[in-house]
Amino acid sequence: MLKILTKLAWGLVLPIALLATGPAMAEIGEHQLKFASANNKGHPQVMGMEKFAELLKEKSGGKIEVKLFPGGVLGGDVQTVSALQGGVIEMTVLNAGILASNVKPFGAVDLPFLFNSGEEADKVMDGPFGSGLMKLLPDTGLVGLAYWELGFRNLTNNRHAVTKLEDIKGLKIRTIQSPIPIELFNSLGANAVPLPYTELYTALETGTVDGQENPAANIINAKFFEVQKYMTVTRHQYNPQIVLISKKFWDGLNDEEKALFQSAATEARDYQRKVSREMDVKAIEEIKKTGMEVSELSPEETQKLRDAVKPLIDKFSPQIGAETVAQLMKELDTVRGK
């Protein structure tokens, strides 16, 4: 130590002394970014965004500020993805299956009656299958940070109660802009109408479509009960959501900043899923209180729906990728202890 101090006194070994302390920690820079989504404030999706912004601000010592743009004010999901790729918007969260138009294997998560519970979906999406899908995104200008939850989708309409498969026939049903949901409702006898979520309320109000399908929390949050009379608890599809960040923005972050974003997205994920599942239970009760007629399908009718849409797996497997579908089914078997 004396030898080092003596040399320092002569100004000879300053670089060596600095190296002896190890490399300096990367600096956290000042960043402001836009985080967009389709759902309105009060929805579990937006509550997850708020938690993420809060955590990132805290972890960065106030240096990273996330400005939230819920309610589709910056455009629908497909439009927002394009904005991320161009670096116009930095972040969004949306149904993972929508990315099938960018990366075909993401279509696997849109397959009907895939998951039996949210917890089952968590294990698959947080495991090798979900991380494998994320690795395919950077080539398209996107980076995935975490999987959140939208939940199980249910059917609503304004024409009549749906208590059996045949009741769906002829209904004009709005679906998300993704091939599998469109084919799903066409195969049930409905006329599927793909529309951005931001246009859905007006489409229901004007009668452009008879109905739609979304989790119960969305039906409450978007006030679809004002323009729909009947709901059927079909749980025909589960939507994992994915938190995306623009690769252009991501590539400008240093490793320490990237670690903060990842940590905040993961912590917010656990909070968001918990809130989503709690709200799903409450939302169905709230829907009943609005005066909407809520129907439950019998096990026999649910099986009829399952049988009607089974061919979709064979039809879309070549497009999704047979290996991707096989891996998904294998992981589901593992999760279920088969």
23-53: per-residue pLDDT in tens? 334 689 999 999 999 999 999 999 999 999 9
Q: What is the pLDDT averaged over residues 288-310?
A: 95
Residues 43, 113: Cα–Cα separation, whole Å: 24
Distance CA 100, CA 216 (A): 24
Q: Which amino acid is at 100?
A: A
In the prediction, which pLDDT does 177 show?
87
Q: Which fold has domain 32-336?
A: D-Maltodextrin-Binding Protein; domain 2 (3.40.190)
Cα angle 128-132-137, degrees, rounded to a multiple of 5: 150
C-alpha torsion angle, residues 172, 178, 182, 183 (rounded to 10): 180
Provide CB contacts within 8 A for 322, sequence distance 6+: none
- pLDDT tens string 232-264: 999 999 999 999 999 999 999 999 999 999 999
Tell me what pLDDT residue 286 has. 96
Cα angle: 188, vertex 102, 66; to 5 degrees: 105
Rounded Cα gap, residues 307 and 46, in angstroms: 35
CA–CA separation, 312 and 224 (whole Å):
28
Residue 49's closest CA among 176, 259, 57, 107?
A: 57
Six-digit token string for 235: 């749980």
Run of H or E residues at 223: none
C-alpha distances out from residue 158 to 35, 165, 192, 229, 242, Å: 34, 16, 15, 5, 31
For residue 115, pLDDT beyond 90: yes
Domain ranges in the chain are 32-336
Q: Does the pLDDT of residue 5 top 60, yes or no?
A: no
